[in-house]
Amino acid sequence: MVTHNTTQKLSARTARRLRTILAAGRVTAWRGVDLITAAMLAAAFGVVFWAFDTFVYPGVSAVTTGFPPAGELALGVWLIPAVVGGLIVRRPGAALFTELIAANIELFLGNQWGVAVLLSGALQGLGVEIVLAVLLWRRFGALTAVLGGIVSAVLEIVGYEWWSYVAGYSWTWRIVYLICGMISGGLIAGVGGWALVRALARAGALNAFPLGQEVRENDTSR
């Protein structure tokens, strides 16, 4: 066994500037724990979605029956796994992998949209993936999360829902529908997902991941 030292020693000044720690090793070299964590996060979100469908969503849809596009304000909930998976694992494919497995679980549990949920999962995961790729997997802040949530919503709606669920809407309403989805993606999946990941890191649950290291090193430097 050789000596490992997986962080570079940074001066205090540069440390403040370059706080972001990237995934260990080559960015595409997924560790076993990356894969297992992403898959387990998806399974947990499968449980959360099931609870959301049972306890909260009926209330939301009851409120929004009179004005269906408002129902799209809940879209962001389903985009959270992609944002959270991407922000935690910080490797290409993490957002897509997490969202796809979560979609698979919804499929196996029995859901509203049948197999279409897999197509949705792929588009939603790709949305976050595109944003992370444009930023070269180097930025994982709140802004990245919000952009990821918005692009994810755009891909889901423009790439799929416009042509299936709301294909009969007039264009005005399709646009309203899209804007509702984007707001939800940015707020619930973006801000919400980012806050969730920060809280998990502070609880010491992300010690195996770059964000966990960032939080701990800030703590020890204080």
| CA-closest candidate to residue 217, choices 22, 19, 27 | 19
* Residue 5 binding other proteins, by CB under 8 A: yes
Residues 167-186 that bind other proteins (CB under 8 A): 167-170, 173
* Residue 18 binding other proteins, by CB under 8 A: no
Residues 114-133 that bind other proteins (CB under 8 A): 114-116, 118-119
User: What does the alpha-carbon distance between residue 221 and residue 35 come to, in Å, rounded to a whole number?
Assistant: 30
Q: How far is the CB of 72 from other proteins (least distance, A)?
A: 10
The upper half-sphere exposure of residue 45, i.e. CA atoms within 13 Å in the direction of its Cβ, equals: 28
Question: Do residues 131 and 147 make contact, with C-beta atoms less than 8 angstroms apart?
Answer: yes
* Residue listed under structure tokens 């992998």: 97
Interacting residue with other proteins among 142, 154, 159, 217 (CB under 8 A):
217
Instruction: Please identify, among the stretches 35-43, 136-144, 145-153, 178-186, the one whose residues bind other proteins according to the rule CB under 8 A.
Output: 35-43
Q: How far is the CB of 155 from other proteins (least distance, A)?
A: 16
Residues 83-112 that bind other proteins (CB under 8 A): 84, 97, 101, 104-105, 107-112
| CA-closest candidate to residue 141, choices 150, 152, 132 | 132
Q: How many residues does the chain have?
A: 222
Distant-in-sequence, close-in-space partners of 62: CB < 8 Å, separation ≥ 6: none
CA distances from 56 to 21, 49, 53, 62, 201 (A): 37, 10, 6, 10, 27
Q: How far is the CB of 2 from other proteins (least distance, A)?
A: 8
Q: How far is the CB of 160 from other proteins (least distance, A)?
A: 9
Binding mask 53-72 for other proteins (x = CB under 8 A): x-xx--xxx-x-x--xx-x-
Q: Which CB atom, from 134 or from 164, has the smaller least distance to other proteins? A: 164
Q: Which CB atom, from 68 or from 135, has the smaller least distance to other proteins? A: 68
Q: Which CB atom, from 13 or from 59, has the smaller least distance to other proteins? A: 59
Interacting residue with other proteins among 22, 27, 130, 166 (CB under 8 A):
166
User: What does the alpha-carbon distance between residue 182 and residue 196 come to, in Å, rounded to a whole number?
Assistant: 19
Q: Which CB atom, from 141 or from 204, has the smaller least distance to other proteins? A: 204
Helices (H), 110-192: 116-134, 142-159, 171-184
